[in-house]
Structure formats: structure tokens, C-alpha cells
Amino acid sequence: MAGPLVASNRGPVTFTGGVPRRGGGGLVTAVGPALTTEDGSVWLAAAGTTADRAVARHRPSLTAHLPEGSLRLELLPIDQAEYDAYYNGVANEVLWPLLHQLLDLSREPSFDDTFGRAWRDYREVNERFADACAAHPLTGGAFIQDYHLALVPALLRNRRPDAAIAHYTHCPFAEPAALEVLPAAVRTELLAGMLGADLLCFEVPRWQRRFLRCAAAAGYPVDFATGRVTVGDRVVSTGAYPLGVDAVDLRRQAATQPVRAECRRLRDVVGERTVIVRVDRMEPSKNILRGLAGYRLLLDRHPDLHGTVTHLVYAYGSRTGVAAYRRYADDVEQAAHDINRTYGTPDWCPVVLHTEDNYPAALAAMSIADVVVVNPVWDGQNMVAKEAPTVAEHPVVLVLSANAGAADDLADGAVVVNPFDVAELATALETAVSMPAGERQRRHRCVIEAAKARPPAEWFAAQRADLAVALHERAGATAFPLTTSGSLGS
């Protein structure tokens, strides 16, 4: 069977002085095993840093050796100014906050001529990806990743009308009213770009429905029952593909020596206290400030809990070059400090904040957790909500934002909160720390079962199968074999 083509902004490895280092993304875990060096499969990624560009210039096509196996990697060198405009000017500063409803609309965005130029660079980088994709036979289908490459499906369709094209959005999608913030021409081009695909994949049905409403608002005929959009003489399928955890692999990682050592160290620190854990990028969408406010309110309301709980907060740096992110990180540190100053004693530190990126330490904290807090303002899926309960050694209570995509899968077992409602979060934490053992166990089991429902390999297989189905239904399509797993539906 012909292997797939995967295209994403960031590749499975990045380079430092020519030395490859595996990236942290879950996409590698999910997609890596489906790619080999023998079946024509390939991963295309942007070379946007100086080091990556240096590699790309000498070895535009190379073999990357990963724990998941070896695969062929093609790096597209993009020059610095163009990459900045595409990646920061459009993707990070406009599309990301727009899709996460995090724009302070009284001031931003402001679509001036600078944005107009950035949008042309964004289109140009998408064209480069489309050219690179089109140079491959594509007999295993093209799987384009995320909002960085939203125009690639239509651009590739222009070059290769018969290609089998899927696109996956790894974040929420916007309501039509939110999408109307974009300049009309940009909004039109963005939707038309995505709708060049045969199959549009979203993390959960909520984001899929939002996309369908946007398509309908833009005038495309939409069948909400089947999730199909008519684009001229083509039909575009849509589906939701929530990513689950690979429980066996996660527990294997949690059993490694560095994680066990960190668990013992943490146990010494927290003693017999109830451990409330959160693990996030330091990121406004993750809602760490309101999380701390909720914990503080719990302590305000319950002097009886003082000294009996510890909140371990792992919030590792993200986009530290952006002023708003630095300000957010400063405010998080200040909030943690204020809680400790108000309530801490020589024997008890109410909040322990870690800001370094240390996955073994975070995994150790998840392992010893009694309560896990995942309260993003908005989040496409949120894997911590699935990973932490999976590795927890004791029955754990998951306090989960209704606005995380993961709530679609985990709502039955989790204590679900409105992420803006700090008072509700404090009540949920109170419920969690005082929950009777029986209910705690029942909820924990329920969350674990749901978390592993669609592990990474199955997640990608389902997309491949559904793309094949979409192709079979299309007259005059390039031959594209059904994978043996068949359609898993959506």
C-alpha cells in the first residue's frame, strides 16, 4: 500500500548545528509509525530557523530516525522575513487567537497594509507547500496539518485536481460571528482554501459543527446531518477525530527511572497532603491565572484545608519572546507568590510552581496526583486531561473545563466547570478533595476508559480510511486503496 504524505509547519525533528532532535508534538507519535522509508511516504515541514534552513539547503530530503521508526523528511527552506510574516504575523498573532476567541477586540487585530503583506507571505508559504506536495505521486493521500497551512488544500487541488487531500485542524474552530472579524477577502480565501480538501478533520464534533456553520454563513450548501459541504461540483466530507492516549506507552514512560526518582522526591515534599496538579504551557488560553484564583478561593473559604493540600503547578515557558506571554508568566508567578505569602507557613507551601520544561517531572506529578485541574479558556482537545488520569497511581478526580474539546469524551467522569467561573472552580476543587473513595474510583475508571478510546495509531488510520471512502465516492478519483481498518466513523 502506498504511504501517505504529511505536511506540517513544524517537522518531527528540528536541528541544532545539524544534529536532529525529536520534537515534542503528539503528531509525531500518531503519524510517525505510519510513515516508512520504503513505501513512498514522506513528511514535509518548513525550515524556518537558521539551523533548519542550513540543513535544508544541503539535504532537502533526508531520513529521520525516530523512536517510532525511520521516515523520509523533506524540509522547505523559508527565508526569515517571509517565515516571520507567515508564522507570527498571520498564524500566531491572528489565526490562533481568533480560533481560541482570545482577541481583545477593542484593540486587536487591526488589519492594516502590514497585515496585507503578511497575508501575501502566508499565501506564498502555502504555495510553496502545495508545490512541494504536488511533486509527489500522492497515491497514499496528502494529510495537511493545521491552520498554518489552511490554504494548501485548494492550492494543491489546483495543481493536482485528482489528488486525495485531507486537512486536520489541531485547535478549536470559530463561530461565524468570530470569523467575521477577518477582512472579507481573507475569510473567503481561508474557507475556500480548507474546502479544497476531500476530508476536513476536526478534534471534536463541536469544532466540526462550527466550521460547518461558517461554511453555511459563507454561502456554501451544507448538509449538517452528514457533515458534507458542496463546493462547485465537489463534495467535501468533514469529521471529528478526537485523539486518545496510548496507555501502555504512557505507563511505560511513567515507570522509567527518572520519573520514579522524581515521584519519590515529590512524595518527600508533599507528604500525606492531597495533591492538586496542573501541567500546561505558560499560555493565556490555558487559564492558569483563573486556576490559581480558584485555588486561592478554596483556601479562603476553607481554613480547615490549610496545610492539608498542595497545588503543584507545571507551566513551562511558551513564546517567551512575546510581551503578552511574558506579562502573563509574570502575573502567574505573582499570583502563586501571593497565595504562598498569604497562607504559607514554615511547614507548608500551598503552591509549588515549576516553569522549566521537564516532562519526567510533570509525568511524576501526574502520577502522584489526587486531583488534576485542566481549565483552559478554550482548547482544541487538551491531552493532559487524558494523560494525567492514565498515569495516576491513585484514583484521581479530573476537574475539567467545559471549553476543552476533551470534555466531549470525558464529561461523564470529570467534574466539569465553566473556565470563567472561579467560584465554580473553587467549589469543584472542594468537591474533588472531599470526594468519597467509591465515587472517586468510579469517575477515575470512567475517565481512563474514555481517554484511551482512540489511541494515536487508530486516530490516523481512521482519517486515512475516511479519506479513502471520500475518494471512492468521488467520480474520476485517483485510485486510492481503502485501508484494512475500514472507516471508524466520526
Residues of the shown chain interacting with a copy of itself in the complex, contacts defined by CB under 8 A: 101-102, 104-107, 109-113, 115-116, 175, 177-178, 180-184, 284-285, 287, 289-290, 293, 297, 300-301, 328, 377, 418, 420-424
CB of 297 to a copy of itself, least distance (A): 6
> What pairs with residue 5 in β-bridges?
42, 142
Whole-angstrom distance, CA of residue 295 vs CA of residue 352: 12
Q: Is residue 409 a contact partner of residue 450, using CB atoms and an 8 Å limit?
A: yes
Judged by beta carbon, residue 224 or residue 420, the one nearer a copy of itself is: 420
- Cell match 516553569: residue? 355
CB of 409 to a copy of itself, least distance (A): 19
CB of 106 to a copy of itself, least distance (A): 4
CB of 322 to a copy of itself, least distance (A): 13
DSSP secondary structure, 283-296, as one string: -GGG-HHHHHHHHH
CA distance between the termini of the chain: 24
CB of 250 to a copy of itself, least distance (A): 30
CB of 324 to a copy of itself, least distance (A): 8
Judged by beta carbon, residue 62 or residue 181, the one nearer a copy of itself is: 181
Helix axes 257-270, 359-368, angle to 10 degrees: 60
Q: Is residue 74 a contact partner of residue 45, using CB atoms and an 8 Å limit?
A: yes
Judged by beta carbon, residue 28 or residue 422, the one nearer a copy of itself is: 422
Judged by beta carbon, residue 111 or residue 359, the one nearer a copy of itself is: 111
CB of 91 to a copy of itself, least distance (A): 18
Tell me how far CA of residue 357 lies from CA of 268, 274, 331, 386, 473, in angstroms: 22, 24, 19, 19, 46
- Cell match 525529536: residue? 22
Judged by beta carbon, residue 83 or residue 328, the one nearer a copy of itself is: 328
Closest of 154, 155, 162, 158 to residue 137, by C-alpha: 162
Judged by beta carbon, residue 42 or residue 416, the one nearer a copy of itself is: 416
Whole-angstrom distance, CA of residue 133 vs CA of residue 136: 6
Closest of 223, 171, 214, 172 to residue 193, by C-alpha: 214
CB of 311 to a copy of itself, least distance (A): 17
Whole-angstrom distance, CA of residue 394 vs CA of residue 422: 26
User: Residue 405: helix, strand or coil by DSSP?
Assistant: coil
Q: Is residue 238 a contact partner of residue 264, using CB atoms and an 8 Å limit?
A: no
Tell me how far CA of residue 169 lies from CA of 96, 118, 207, in angstroms: 11, 21, 9
Judged by beta carbon, residue 112 or residue 304, the one nearer a copy of itself is: 112
Judged by beta carbon, residue 140 or residue 284, the one nearer a copy of itself is: 284
Strands (E), 118-185: 142-145, 165-168
What the block records as the C-alpha cell of 290 is 483563573
CB of 296 to a copy of itself, least distance (A): 9
- Identity of residue 453: A
Q: Is residue 26 a contact partner of residue 383, using CB atoms and an 8 Å limit?
A: yes
What single DSSP character describes residue 404? B
CB of 293 to a copy of itself, least distance (A): 6
Judged by beta carbon, residue 105 or residue 475, the one nearer a copy of itself is: 105
Judged by beta carbon, residue 88 or residue 427, the one nearer a copy of itself is: 427
